[in-house]
Structure 1
């Protein structure tokens, strides 16, 4: 599996990365090698989460919001 990541230089030093295809999947590292290890671990963790539909009672509505 190939996943695109975007690497950024952190203001305080080191690097951080995000995975656009997996919202909220981010990690950081002091070196690019450490970042590579950490982001791979984060991707595995994000993909291994079982998403469960919330149980609602009564009125429910779905809203799309931009932040």
Structure 2
């Protein structure tokens, strides 16, 4: 994944390019990166749960690579 980050006054702010809605902020660059990782992990887990709920029973999971 790729993050776009910048300093904004006293804050660092950032967005994960590939996943809409995954963004965060921090008072330091390291804190921002940690917060973005956590937000990304949370978003991926939530998307997994949503996909399984939408598929209902009898679904099959397959691994995919780009």
* Displacement of 1:36: 1.3
The structure in which a higher percent of residues are strand is 2
Which of 19, 23, 36 is 2:33 aligned to? 36
State the Cα deviation string for residues 25-58 of structure 1 (Å, max 9, x = none).
Answer: 00100001111111110110010002254xxxxx
Alignment of 1:1-67 (within 5 A): 3-11=1-9, 13-49=10-46, 50-51=49-50, 52-53=53-54
Q: Which runs of 5+ in 2 are unaligned?
A: 55-66
Which has the higher Rg, Structure 1 or Structure 2? 1
| TM-score of the pair, normalised by structure 1 | 0.66
Structure 1 residue ranges (4+ consecutive) displaced by more than 3 angstroms after TM superposition: none
Aligned pair count reads 50
